[in-house]
Structure 1
Amino acid sequence: MDLKHMNLLPCQITSFYACVLLLLLLLTLAPAQNTTSSTSIKAANTTKPGCRKRCGNVTVPYPFGIGSDCAINSGFEVICNVSTDGTQKPLIGSIEVYDISDAELRVENAIAWRCYNENGSMYRENLNWMYLGGSSYPYSFSARNMFILVGCDDNALITGPNFGYNCSTSCTSSNDVIDGKCMGNGCNQVHLPRGFKNFTPIISSTRNHTDVWDFNQCGYAFLGEVDRFHFRGLEDVSNVTTFYKSIMASVPIVLDWAIGDFTCTQAQDGKDYACKENSECVDSDAGFGGYRCSCKPGFQGNPYLTAGCQDVDECSDPSANTCEKNCTNTPGSFYCSCPDGYTDDGKKDGRSCIPPYSDHQSLWTKFSLGTGVGSISLVVVITLLYFCIKKRKLIQAREKFFQQNGGLLLKERISTKEGAVEATRIFTAEELKKATNNYANDRILGHGGNGIVYRGVLRDTRIVAIKKSRTVDESQIEQFINEVLILTQINHRNVVKFFGCCLEDEVPLLVYEYVSEGNLYEHIHNQRGAGWLTWQNRLRIAAEIATTLAYLHSFASMPIIHRDVKSANILLDNIYTAKVADFGASRLIPLDQTHVATLVLGTSGYLDPEYSRTSQLTEKSDVYSFGVLLAELLTGLKPIIRARSEENKNLADFFVLSMNSNSLFHIIDHRVLREGSLEQLQKMAELVKNCLQPHGEDRPTMKDVSIELEGLRKVTGISSSSQHEQEEYDQDERSDLYTVPINSYENTPNSDSSRIMHPTYSPS
Structure 2
Amino acid sequence: MILPSYQIACFYVCVLMLTLATAQNTTNSTSTTITKGANVTKPGCTKQCGNVTVPYPFGIGSDCALNVRFELDCNTSDDGSQELILGENIVVYDISDAEFRISNSIGWRCYNSSGAVLDESLAWTTFLETTPYSFSALNRFTVVGCDDYASITGPNNFEYGCNVSCSTRDVIEGECMGKGCCQKQIPKGLKYFNTTMSSTQNHTDVWSFNSCGYAFLGEADHFRFQGLPDLGDDLNVDDFYDRIKASVPVVLDWAIGSHTCTQALKSEDYACSENSHCIDSDTGLGGYRCSCNPGYQGNPYLNQGCQDVDECADHPSNSLCEKMCINTPGSFNCSCPHGYTGDGRKDGRGCVAPYHDQFPWIKVSAGTGVGLISLVVVITLLYFCIKKRKLSQAREKFFQQNGGLLLKHRISTKKGGVDATRIFTAEELKKATNNFANDKILGRGGNGIVYRGVLRDTRIVAIKKSRIVDESQIEQFINEVVILTQINHRNVVKLFGCCLEDEVPLLVYEYVSEGTLYEHIHNQRGAGWLNWQNRFRIAAEIATTLAYLHSFASMPIIHRDVKSANILLDNVFTAKVADFGVSKLIPLDQTHVATLVLGTSGYLDPEYFRTSQLTEKSDVYSFGVVLAELLTGLKPIIRARNEEDKNLADFFVLSMNKNSLFHIIDRRVLREGSLEQLQKMAEVVKNCLRPHGEDRPTMKEVAIELEGLRKITGVSWSNQYGLEENDQDKSSDLYTVPINSNGNTPNSDSSRIMHPTYSPS
Higher relative contact order (CA 8 A, sep 6+): 1
TM-score (ref. length: structure 1): 0.47
Larger Rg belongs to: 2
